[in-house]
Amino acid sequence: MTRFHSLFLFLAGCILLLSCSKEMSTEGPSAGTCEYAPYTNGSSFSYINVNKTKDTISYTLTVEGDTTINNTRFKKIGDDSVFICSDCKDGIYTQIASLLTFQGYKADNLLLTYLKDNSLKGDSWNDTVTISNGTVSTTGILRHTIIDKGISKTVYGKAYAEVIAVKLDAYAIVLNNPVPVGTVSTSYYAKGVGLIEADQSGDTIKLTSYTLKP
């Protein structure tokens, strides 16, 4: 299970089990490539995950083409175990998630907006989801906040410029009031590269190398 947690944490900054439609489409416009998600076909991104006990997992995700979900074209990024569905338009980055779990709460069928590269430091936006804890269902909020922008950050010995840091906090709505569940993660995205690091309480994921195809 650690393999799946480490693999899916890095894009949304939370523990995600992601699934893409297997239906391929050759019609319609391409989703395109944005500067903080350069997902051209054949590009690959290698990561290392280290947990609190220093257990380490390495894996490489490769962009393997397009898939269409609800009339929207997504890029498929993955390895032999799983695919992640990612899209970007006008500086707004989204992904499809079929299940999210955090602190005992679960949410299904998510379209998450994990980054807005035109936002300013301090800006935030919400994804509203239906969550359950046992037999009780309620509305939950995933709040994304730009906590830094335009910074430099060194990850695994390599310096990256034009980095955006996004903090993800989770809330449950109880009696019409948002109740904090906790900070899920802080993720760092570098211009021209994509995600370079994601930190949460039990794991840290870092980019070790990448190859971009034209």
The domains located in the chain, with CATH, are: 2-211 (2.40.360)
- Predicted confidence at residue 95, as pLDDT, reads 86
- With a cut of 90, say whether residue 97 has pLDDT above it: no
pLDDT band at 151 (very low <50, low <70, confident <90, very high): very high
Q: In terms of Cα–Cα distance, which of 154, 165, 80, 162 is closest to 123?
A: 165
- With a cut of 80, say whether residue 132 has pLDDT above it: no
CA angle centred on 155, ends 96 and 12, rounded to 5°: 15
From CA 194, how far away is CA 212, in angstroms rounded? 11
